[in-house]
Amino acid sequence: MLKFKGLPGVFGRTALTGVLLVSGLGLVAPAVADDTVRLLWVQPMRGHPVHRLMQAGFLEKCAELEYECEVVGDPSATNWDVAATIPLAEAALARTEYDAVGVYGPDPAVYSYMTDLAGEGLPVVTWHVLPEEGSVPGLAAAIGEDISNAGYNAAMAIGEQLGGKGTVALTQGASNDTENTMSDAFRATIAEHFPDIVVLPTEMEGFDPSAAESKAVAMLLANPDVAAAFGTTGNSIQTWASASRKADRDLVIIGMDYIRQNLDLVRDGEAYGLVAQPLYEESALVAELLGRLAQGEEVDYLNPLPAPVITADDLQPYYEMLDRAGQ
């Protein structure tokens, strides 16, 4: 691939490509040739531990492919913060001529921004969600777990551990397409395969650990028959393990995301298992697909990845992955 740095100014955020400069003496040197692929990663809640794992997968693949990559997002946000993140992305785009952009897409509030970027000629890929093709104009590819299958896997594991009877608490970090879909699949699977199990109404635990723990403890105190808990966000397993200790209740706990703290809880027997969302894998694939798009190649729009439930016997490969990522 050959790119040329052009001129800023009236031609918009990205400068002209392949410009030749002309003076009174005639044709002079073309703009400097540059074959480096430059990718931008846009992610609200940049500092969230699960999001940092995603960023590690992206940046490691960038290094492997010798791409120049940058991550932008509000590092201090404790809640989904699109309004603070888009200006940071715009500043990065004004400063550097990127070839393609990855935009974290669990919230439809960012879909219009993806369309805007595509309208400016930038290939755009999202991850962790799989919007229906054509539902986000301009979006070139989507990478993520099969979300419904993740909810199914968690439900089957809990149902089997409970022997088909009992009450289950269900929490989400927030109401969004990803977590809503997973919760719906969990409920539907329990209803179909384990009709004697009751799933309590979904509670939003939020993203503040102390507040989430307090809500979980309150759920246990109000529902003494709860024997299991499933949370659809990255901190859920920590929320429920802590609540289980404080309430002195043994629970079958399944959470999300193989960050180190979560793996340790499963290793130590404080939780039963994790839905191994392919956080690292999907994020590495973001770099790969963005690079291919930047170089004019075609890619598949839908790129689903498996998300099995892992238990204590399955942890070692995930620890090794974290070690490689410096996590």
Stated as kind and residue range, the H or E segment containing 56 is helix 49-65
pLDDT in tens, 59-118: 999 999 999 999 999 877 666 788 889 999 999 999 999 999 999 988 888 999 999 999
108: amino acid identity, one letter: P
Amino acid 99: pLDDT:
98
User: 3-class secondary structure for 128-149?
Assistant: CCCCCCCCCCCCCEEEEECHHH
Alpha-carbon dihedral 59, 314, 216, 186, rounded to 10 degrees: 90
Q: Are 135 and 309 in contact (CB under 8 A)?
A: no
Tell me how crowded residue 106 is: count the other CB atoms within 10 A of its CB.
Answer: 20
Helix axes 236-247, 209-222, angle to 10 degrees: 50
User: 34-145+279-306 and 147-275 share one CATH topology?
Assistant: yes
Fold annotation for 147-275: Rossmann fold (3.40.50)
Tell me how crowded residue 167 is: count the other CB atoms within 10 A of its CB.
Answer: 16
Q: For the chain, which residues make up each domain, given as ranges?
A: 3-33, 34-145+279-306, 147-275
For the segment 228-249, the average pLDDT, to the nearest whole number, is 96
Q: Which of 73-87, 106-120, 157-171, 311-325 has the highest mean pLDDT?
A: 157-171
Residue 21 CB-density burial (10 A; 0-12 exposed, 13-18 middle, 19+ buried): exposed
Amino acid 34: pLDDT:
64
- DSSP code per residue over 95-116: HS--SEEEE--SSGGGHHHHHH
Model confidence at 236: pLDDT above 80: yes
Choices 3.40.50.2300, 2.40.50.140, 3.65.10.10, 2.30.110.10: CATH for 34-145+279-306: 3.40.50.2300
Tell me how crowded residue 149 is: count the other CB atoms within 10 A of its CB.
Answer: 17
> 0.85 exceeded by the pTM?
no
Q: Which two tokens stand for residue 268?
A: 């130590």
